């Protein structure tokens, strides 16, 4: 029998990158599968799982039991000449995993450097950046049903990955705690520098044949130059998804706004940067008390100090209404609102 310490009325300000004041009625830090299984058997209700707190906006205190997933461990599970299947604990910090993979010479996730959060949250969000998404390297995961305590394995097709989306944000939302994630990484890396400013950054460093370490360093540099540090200003990174328009809708949009940046997608839709829409709508740098739209990146909503989650959410809704009125486009939050 494992000893489980239950913290009551636990302050969550340090456990969310927005820095929102909130409390968990009960909180337990879980570092092993045995502890997780035993905890679920306590039959608390409701139960929610907290990872790195980097993609969450608290709008009030959390009732019931909050599980803080800190299941650790990175290991090479299976490998051959070309690939390595790695097993990673759900509580591992995502960027720590990226640095480990780069050190091992395993390619596939270097473009996802410096994304905040934990490995267990990565499949839920299908995290992505600079031309790469989690689904591109995902193999499978092990998860525990928070209602029954039973374990399940989810393979790639089971997860229904979409743009910053998965089955765990839809029909299975709040049902599972992801204990371990398996990723298929390349032992002969395929370098991807085509997206964003990576190639330009590497050229500025006079790097003509980049390694995965070079790509990782470039992504870190770009992200640090564009996005505010949550340790300095509370934020959860991009608050909204970049909208994807059907071709006919984009045609009408582009006739009115021919200067709008856009990116054609494999399925025929066209992606328009949400940051551009928000900035053109006049929100960039706007501040309402301690809730605001970042002065350098309109896609990032920030907490300048003591903003409540409800204030951040109210600002987000005003931005959505404004963009819809001016452009006829509905912005969908990327951040999970609790």
pLDDT grade for 299, boundaries at 50, 70 and 90: very high
Question: What pLDDT is stored for residue 44 in this prediction?
Answer: 73
pLDDT category, 42, cuts 50, 70, 90?
A: confident
3, pLDDT greater than 80: no
Residue 51 tokens, joined: 């990872």
* pLDDT for residue 24: 96
Q: Which residues are within 8 A (CB) of 195 and not within 5 positions of it... i.e. 6 or more apart?
A: 111, 130, 131, 132
The predicted pLDDT at position 286 comes to 96
Q: Is the pLDDT of residue 43 over 90?
A: no
Q: How buried is residue 201: exposed, middle or buried, by Cβ count under 10 Å (0-12/13-18/19+)? A: buried
Percent of the chain with pLDDT over 70: 99
Task: State the average pLDDT over residues 95-111.
Answer: 98
Dist. CA 99–CA 109, nearest whole Å: 9
Residue 321 vs residue 228, higher pLDDT: 321
Position 194 scores a pLDDT of 87
Q: Is the pLDDT of residue 37 over 80?
A: yes
| Per-residue confidence band for 1, with pLDDT thresholds at 50, 70 and 90 | low
| pLDDT, the chain, mean | 94
What pLDDT shows up at residue 82? 94
pLDDT exceeds cutoff 90 at 36: no
Residues known to be catalytic: 164, 238, 334
* C-alpha dihedral (184, 31, 44, 310), degrees to nearest 10: -70
How, if at all, do strands 47-50 and 62-69 pair?
Answer: parallel
Express as a percent the part of the chain with pLDDT over 90: 84
Q: What is the pLDDT of residue 28?
A: 93
* pLDDT for position 39: 84
Mean pLDDT value of segment 110-130: 95
- The pLDDT, as a whole number, for residue 244 is 93
- Find out whether 23 and 60 touch, Cβ atoms under 8 Å: no
Residue 33 reports pLDDT greater than 90: no
User: Mean per-residue pLDDT for 331-338?
Assistant: 93
Tell me the average pLDDT across 82-89.
Answer: 97
Helix (H) or strand (E) holding 314: helix 309-327
What pLDDT score does 200 carry? 93
Q: pLDDT tens digit string along 184-238? A: 999 999 999 988 789 999 999 999 999 999 999 999 999 998 888 888 999 999 9
DSSP 107: B
Minimum mean pLDDT among 5-9, 37-41, 189-193, 324-328: which range? 37-41
């Amino acid at each position: 029998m494992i000893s489980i310490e239950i913290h009551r009325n636990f302050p969550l300000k340090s456990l969310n990158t927005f820095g929102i004041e909130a409390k968990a009625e009960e909180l337990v830090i879980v570092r092993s599968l045995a502890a997780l299984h035993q905890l679920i058997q306590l039959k608390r209700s409701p139960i929610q799982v907290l990872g790195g707190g980097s993609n969450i906006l608290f709008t009030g205190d959390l009732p019931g039991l909050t599980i803080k997933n800190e299941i650790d461990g990175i290991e090479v599970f299976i490998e051959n000449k070309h690939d390595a299947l790695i097993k990673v604990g759900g509580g591992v910090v995502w960027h720590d995993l990226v640095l480990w993979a780069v050190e091992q010479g395993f390619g596939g996730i270097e473009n996802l450097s410096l994304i905040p959060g934990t490995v267990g949250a990565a499949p839920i969000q299908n995290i992505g950046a600079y031309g790469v998404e989690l689904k591109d390297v995902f193999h499978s995961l092990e998860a525990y049903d928070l209602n029954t305590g039973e374990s399940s394995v989810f393979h790639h097709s089971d997860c229904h990955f979409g743009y910053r989306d998965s089955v765990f944000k839809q029909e299975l939302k709040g049902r599972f705690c992801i204990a371990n994630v398996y990723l298929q990484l390349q032992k002969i890396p395929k370098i991807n520098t085509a997206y964003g400013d990576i190639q330009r950054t590497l050229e500025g460093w006079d790097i003509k044949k980049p390694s995965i370490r070079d790509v990782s360093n470039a992504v870190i540099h770009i992200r640090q130059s564009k996005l505010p540090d949550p340790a300095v200003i509370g934020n959860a990174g991009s608050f909204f998804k970049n909208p994807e328009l059907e071709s006919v809708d984009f045609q009408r949009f582009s006739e009115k706004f021919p200067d709008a940046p856009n990116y054609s997608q494999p399925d025929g839709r066209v992606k328009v940067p949400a940051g551009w829409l928000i900035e053109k709508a006049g929100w960039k740098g706007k501040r309402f008390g301690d809730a605001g739209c970042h002065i350098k990146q309109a896609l990032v909503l920030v907490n300048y100090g003591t903003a409540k989650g409800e204030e951040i959410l109210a600002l987000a809704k005003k931005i959505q209404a404004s963009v819809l009125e001016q452009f006829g486009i509905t912005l969908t939050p990327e951040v999970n609102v609790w």
